[in-house]
Structure 1
């Protein structure tokens, strides 16, 4: 294990093996008596993802508490307060709000990430995302545990930025570099899994997962664009990065390369 590395980021396009290899890596670390936590992109109580969080500005938040006085204490106990911004996790464990459909609907309508239209400005979104990564890094600094995260450093960020804000390449670069600055003290290692042909990869994964929209021309062009951005970002990050090609889908070989990349031996 690389000295003082407390974060391993596993990235790549759909079907490159991110989840499987990241979870296997977590098990490998455990066998080496290295305490670690693995979070896939949809994990409950994810330490960096703000999916399933409602966003309110200060005035909006106070008005929310006034509208739902019965739930005010419960909301206040969950909220993440970042200056004049408030984030309320509502997707997980909604039991205390049972029977309060209006409240749940309002929280959902203020969703920060999973939304058909953004509720935050680009500046607010970037600030909130980077703040969450900063809180994660501060929390991680108090323990010796290693975190293995997949698809949240590149994939989630780029998808949200392009879908909600139609940003350009420079804005994506600044957003990602801002996150990288927050976690640099964790001495991260980023593993990027790739296939030579995005088109072939999309066609293959669409058949495996029975999701035919993955192989549409629009989806293929988007993934080609995403890969281009991500490969450029790899060279700009202030920590160790490794590009691992898995053209033959030889998962044992790929995993061996992943282990080597984090400084261990199989």
Structure 2
């Protein structure tokens, strides 16, 4: 993705393998824009409020949700406001609910919900559908904003982890999914930075040891 009219850009994406410097560059871009009085917002990897990604969010059949609501009726009010209905299923921002409840949600309930995590607890096609719809919603909301949004890693790294590492869906499915996202965001005139370290193996090993 390239852009010959930077003044029209509403989306900046920073990508690269773990340890390549994505967070550092993302914060730097955000700081530079602020210095020049350009309105911007930054969403790093793991942000529970990410507008185009799902971080620690589950997708659960409503019948399972109703069963859990019955079993954990004394604490389910902590979760109810973080549930979005989607036909016969529900989208549950379980980590955000736990944060809001100050860890009052029992670990047994938390793990039951986490079992349906969007990134690795649901079928590949449903994951792709949810993510494409999430990006569509973000683009729609971004149209009326006079600001630049900066994303770290949600365009390539996160789909790569889900489709290639977790689901083994294959390169073709991964490429198809990324191209669908690219098609959705073109109207935002995105700029993509890809950080490629000189020694990929050394970078991955350093991240592994640090983690």
Q: TM-score range by the shorter chain?
A: 0.7 to 0.9
2:15 matched to which residue of 1?
Answer: 11
Answer yes or no: is 1:105 the counterpart of 2:104: no
Structure (1 or 2) with the larger CA radius of gyration: 1
1:149 matched to which residue of 2?
Answer: 151
Cα distance change, pair 167–204 in 1 and its aligned pair in 2 (3 A): closer
Which has the higher relative contact order, 1 or 2, with Cα contacts under 8 A spaced 6 or more apart?
A: 2
1:187 matched to which residue of 2?
Answer: 189
SS of residue in 1 equivalent to 2:7? coil
CA distance in 2, matches of 1:158, 1:85: 25
Q: What do you get for the CA RMSD once the two structures are aligned? A: 2.4
- TM-score, with normalisation over the residues of structure 2? 0.84
Aligned residue among 49, 68, 72 for 1:68: 72
Kindly indicate whether the alpha-carbon contact (under 8 Å) linking 1:74 and 1:96 is maintained by their aligned counterparts in 2.
Answer: no
Answer yes or no: is 1:33 the counterpart of 2:37: yes
Aligned length: 205
- TM-score, with normalisation over the residues of structure 1? 0.68
SS of residue in 2 equivalent to 1:91? helix
1:151-166 equivalences under 5 Å are 151-166=153-168
SS of residue in 1 equivalent to 2:23? helix
2:101 matched to which residue of 1?
Answer: 95
Would you identify which runs of 4 or more consecutive aligned residues in structure 1 move more than 6 Å? none
Structure 1, unaligned runs of 5 or more: 214-266
SS of residue in 1 equivalent to 2:6? coil
Structure 2, unaligned runs of 5 or more: none
1:123 matched to which residue of 2?
Answer: 125
Structure 1 residue 52, shift from structure 2 partner: 0.7
